[in-house]
Structure 1
Amino acid sequence: MADGRRLQRAAEMMARRIAAIAGDWIDDLRLATGLLTRVPMPHLGGVMPAGLARAQRAFPLVGAVIGLVVGLADLSLLGIGIPPLVAATLALGAGAALTGALHEDGLADVGDGFGGGRDRATKLLIMRDSRLGTYGAIILLVSFSARLSALASLPAVAIVPGLVVAHALGRAAIPVLAARMPFARDDGLGKSAGRPEAASAITAIIIAAVIALLCLSGKEALLALAVTVAGAAAMALLAWRQIGGVTGDVFGATEQVAETAVLIMLAARLS
């Protein structure tokens, strides 16, 4: 009897523990979705939740879903006879609508700030300006054109897995930079989101790597990881030299660089 009661208590404790872990992941997914997309999430209220630092481990999962939506939109348009270039354009536009062009905005701000500012203070000031400048417009044009051309050149069978991996890896780079790099300012979205623990950043990397290995061949998956690391490292070094750290805009720009690099790599190998 005693052994039976101990086993029952152990099973109950295990069930509670599993339920708590599942609840934490559901909360993290809800917070990550509320930040990275325009999908309405209840009870967020427009206020940055304290748990968002941990929730960054779920960024690759949300990114994978975004990539899936964009990929299915592209395939659907191709299926009704839309030319590949037009289909890719509309699919990328749908993706920007889904995310509120969050990362594109960060890329444009980084382009304007790093390109137009003479010193650190001026660069940070320009990055806060909501107006689009010449440098920001050019870098957006280059980024969108590169992703558009790469996506349009992919074979149909590679569109969905390629986009899922590109978006997952791009979002995985954000918690890594947030965990390792100093913040360039004491406020703003990047600082408000908090600094994730190393475990959260590592979890994000593992999730993104697993997604890449499930969606691509081993060689393509490793190359996708390699170009993501290279792109994120380049952005981290650039941000360190330009403004002494990272901001929310730098996170967005890093995601765009990684996403674009993965799509270009896949296009070069598969088209």
Structure 2
Amino acid sequence: MFDGLRLAVFDGFRLAVTTLTVLPVRAGRWDRPTAAVAMSLAPLVGAMLGVILAGVSEGLRALGSPALVAAAVTVAAGALLTRGLHLDGLADTVDALGSYRSGADALHIMKKSDIGPFGVAAIGLTLLIQSAALTEATALTVVTAWATGRLAITIACRRGVPPAREEGLGAMVASTVPLSVMLTAAVLVAALATAAIPGRPWQGPAAVAAASITVVLLVRHCVRRFGGITGDVLGAAAESATTVTLVALTLSHGYA
């Protein structure tokens, strides 16, 4: 039994890494039980990405790079490490929502290969806000933001949230994460966030809470408009949560 549980966790972790990053890890099983583990472990993968990106940011600053240049390169590295899939999902989701269409018509817009003006604006503004916030971010702030960004995926895949289509990533992962697991993941990320702002242990968990509420509202709106979630919605949730967390964690610099 223990070996079976360990294998399930290992397979789920490999699936999470291959789905959410470009890291060279070979995928194993691909089924809903494995997807449930993978989506539950998404915050851990996000924290790993955060560690890498924090290293990029701190390394460039140590070499004398201007803060804005280091921030922009860090954001670019984040896009490369995720194949830009989350940004693409953000653009497709915003395009569909901006069309004011629902159901199959909105899903058709999401599947189109081109990006409309809403999507272009969403990507541009997201990258701009993230880069600006990262000019004031510490290493732990970066780790917390990317862990929270992937916590958004865990939240979006919680039980009770339906898929918008019968096939695709959304259908595989939708409603796979038990509520208790989602809450545990949120508590662990919030605990990590307590150390993000020295002297303000409440600000990190507050940032995680703000990002989580944003995701819940976004997912609820997408379910109402699309009938459920898709892989694009997961990407939009991840980018939205990362951005909200970065903004919330850097607010102290305005009145410190």
Contact persistence 2:71–2:131 (CA under 8 A)? yes
Distance verdict in 2 for CA 1:220–1:189, change over 3 Å? same
Other-structure match for 2:123: 140
Aligned-partner Cα distance in 1 for 2:157–2:173: 9
User: How many residues were matched structurally?
Assistant: 249
Other-structure match for 1:83: 66
State whether structure 2 residue 10 is matched by structure 1 residue 26: yes
The one-letter code sitting in structure 1 at the alignment partner of 2:79 is A
State whether structure 2 residue 189 is matched by structure 1 residue 208: yes
Q: Which moved more, 1:255-264 or 1:218-227?
A: 218-227
Other-structure match for 1:227: 210
Give me the CA root mean square deviation: 2.1
The one-letter code sitting in structure 1 at the alignment partner of 2:211 is T
Gaps of 5+ in 2: none
Query: Residue 146 of structure 2 is aligned with which of 167, 175, 178?
Result: 167
Summarize deviations over 1:73-128 as a string: whole Å, max 9, x none: 01111111111111111111111111111211110101111112533222100101
TM-score of the pair, normalised by structure 1 = 0.84
Aligned-partner Cα distance in 2 for 1:53–1:174: 11
Summarize deviations over 1:133-156 as a string: whole Å, max 9, x none: 1110011111111111111133xx
State whether structure 2 residue 38 is matched by structure 1 residue 55: yes
The one-letter code sitting in structure 2 at the alignment partner of 1:225 is V
Aligned-partner Cα distance in 2 for 1:131–1:228: 28
Other-structure match for 1:177: 156
The one-letter code sitting in structure 2 at the alignment partner of 1:208 is V
Query: Residue 108 of structure 2 is aligned with which of 115, 125, 135?
Result: 125
Contact persistence 2:88–2:232 (CA under 8 A)? yes
Gaps of 5+ in 1: 1-15
Residue 215 of structure 1 and its aligned partner are, at CA, apart by 4.3
Q: Percent identity?
A: 31
Aligned-partner Cα distance in 2 for 1:132–1:168: 27
Contact persistence 2:215–2:241 (CA under 8 A)? yes
The one-letter code sitting in structure 2 at the alignment partner of 1:132 is I
Contact persistence 1:56–1:201 (CA under 8 A)? no
Contact persistence 1:112–1:135 (CA under 8 A)? yes
TM-score of the pair, normalised by structure 2 = 0.89
SS at match of 1:153: coil
Contact persistence 1:54–1:200 (CA under 8 A)? no
Higher helix fraction: Structure 1 or Structure 2? 1
State whether structure 2 residue 168 is matched by structure 1 residue 188: yes
Contact persistence 1:103–1:253 (CA under 8 A)? yes
Other-structure match for 1:41: 25
Aligned-partner Cα distance in 2 for 1:204–1:194: 17
